[in-house]
Amino acid sequence: MKRKVFGFTVIEVMLAISISLALTAILMQSINVSINRQRYHDAVMSFQDYLRGQYNQVNNVVVSKTNDHSNAEIQEITSNSCAESSFYGAGRSNCVLIGRLIQLDNRDDIGIAKEYRVFYYQNDAIGAQNFENYFDSQNQANQETINFFDSKIKLSDKSSESSLEWAASFRTTENNPLQATILIIKSPNDGTVRTYSDYGIKTISQIAGINNQLDFCIKSSGNPYGPRRAVRLNSRAANSSAVETMPIGDGEREVRCQR
């Protein structure tokens, strides 16, 4: 009587292992794509939140009582800049933090944001008397332009730096490296917030009066196949609602970023 043998042949076992490995590879690839898409989404949204946060910092500025912005120009005027003054009253300073200058660039294909604080400075009684009228007089002359050539506007020499998450970078809609400058200021007189923005790295005097709309296409090496999204800073922005992530498309309220 012939005995039956149960089991799998070597070929059947190898075939089963090959199929399992193929399914595992497909699953891992799918998981990796999902992770990269989530990381890319996080990079886009974190940049949007970063720009919106700049408006929150401008709207919550405080008078500086310490000499922590040792700009050489300020030091030439007085060695005790931003110190309390009896003329201004107890607890008040002749140096007011009024805004932020943000320069956006790429370094080693990673988006970098460098931030400077902007001060409004007065060092004499005449200047103090005109403090409240300074922005009003400029606004009456030109509603969109403040005379940043005036020596009372100072830029701190200390800066802070942030980078885009997940090694993302700034690109134009044509997929070229993007540079941009954003100046956000708040009038100490009436609290009005104004934004001056343009492409390219610029100084305060160069950016004054320029109100261009900026579209930042976000590129990430971890998302090589999915569509790229753009973060827009609308022109003449007055608050954080002017920063938004744009739908993909070719319409007026859409942005298509080339790969």
Of 217, 233, 116, nearest to 169 (Cα)? 217
Q: What are the Cα distances from residue 229, in Å, to 46, 173, 244, 249, 254?
A: 13, 10, 11, 10, 10
Q: What is the pLDDT of residue 111?
A: 96
CB 233 within 8 A of CB 190: no
Of 192, 172, 173, 176, nearest to 184 (Cα)? 192
Q: Is the pLDDT score of 47 beyond 70?
A: yes
Q: Is the pLDDT score of 103 beyond 70?
A: yes
* Single pTM value for the model: 0.76
Q: pLDDT of 174-212, one tens digit each?
A: 999 999 999 998 876 677 888 999 999 998 878 877 889
Q: pLDDT of 74-97, one tens digit each?
A: 333 333 345 444 444 444 556 677
Amino acid at 222: G
What's 247's DSSP letter? P
**Taking the domains of the chain in order of start, what are their residue ranges?**
39-246
Q: pLDDT of 110-147, one tens digit each?
A: 999 999 988 876 654 444 444 444 444 444 444 444 44
What burial class does residue 201 get, using C-beta atoms within 10 Å of its C-beta: 0-12 exposed, 13-18 middle, 19+ buried? middle
